[in-house]
Amino acid sequence: MSLHFGEEEFDSAWRELDEPQLEGGWELFTENMGVKIYRLLDKETGLYEYKIIGVLSACPAQQCADVYMDLAYRKQWDSYVKELQEKEFEGHKAIYWEVKYPFPLSNRDYVYIRERRDIQVEGRTIYVVLARSSPNTPLAEKSSVTRVKDYKQSLAMATDGAGGTKVFMNYFDNPGGMIPTWLVNWAAKSGVPGFLTDMKKACNNYDGHCQKK
């Protein structure tokens, strides 16, 4: 597998799991269900970059990482997925992901690359997944769907010492078009904690899913 990301990117992600870097304008946006969401204004686009810090209780870290990487399973538990699959493009793999948006807005789709590494740090395993948009991947855009061309995400997970998973996520995307402010705020305030709640349920059901395969 070709390596899309550098060592420093993985190092930065796992270090923020223990010590989130919130200097330089980051503000606490909301706290919900034990999840803290910070945001930083991107002056160039007028959009926000987000950092999410929380714990998924009763969910082992390795299982969380496996669930997050399992695209076929995600189509079963994530109700916002319209289409999600990994494809081969001229010798390299990329993921195509179409996300359902509420009417009358157009759905958004992503073409991105990702990589997971399980990193050993002082006797514990930190699971890191990095992803970013891949604009040079040759996949034609759909006429009825808006392509998100600027997307990045880093995710770090490790045990919380009590059978759960400590989670740090950093992400930014530019959905394009005119997205109402209420929808952007809802996605950050409710959508992200809701996604983590759904992911926790998916973790709890994952063993049963794997046994059926």
Mind listing the pLDDT tens digit for each residue in 146-191?
A: 999 999 999 999 999 999 999 999 999 998 887 887 777 777 777 7
Q: What angle do CA 35, 39, 43 make, to 5 degrees?
A: 170
Q: What is the mean pLDDT of the segment spanning 105-121?
A: 95
| Residue 187, pLDDT score | 77
Q: Per-residue pLDDT for 192 more than 90?
A: no
Q: What is the mean pLDDT of the segment spanning 54-68?
A: 94
Beta bridge partners of 168: 53, 156
Beta strands in the chain (DSSP E): 27-32, 35-42, 47-56, 81-89, 92-99, 107-121, 124-133, 145-148, 151-159, 165-173
More confident site: 92 or 65 = 65
Q: How much of the chain exceeds pLDDT 90, in percent?
A: 70
| Residue 1, pLDDT score | 39
Could you tell me the pLDDT band of residue 54, with boundaries at 50, 70 and 90?
very high
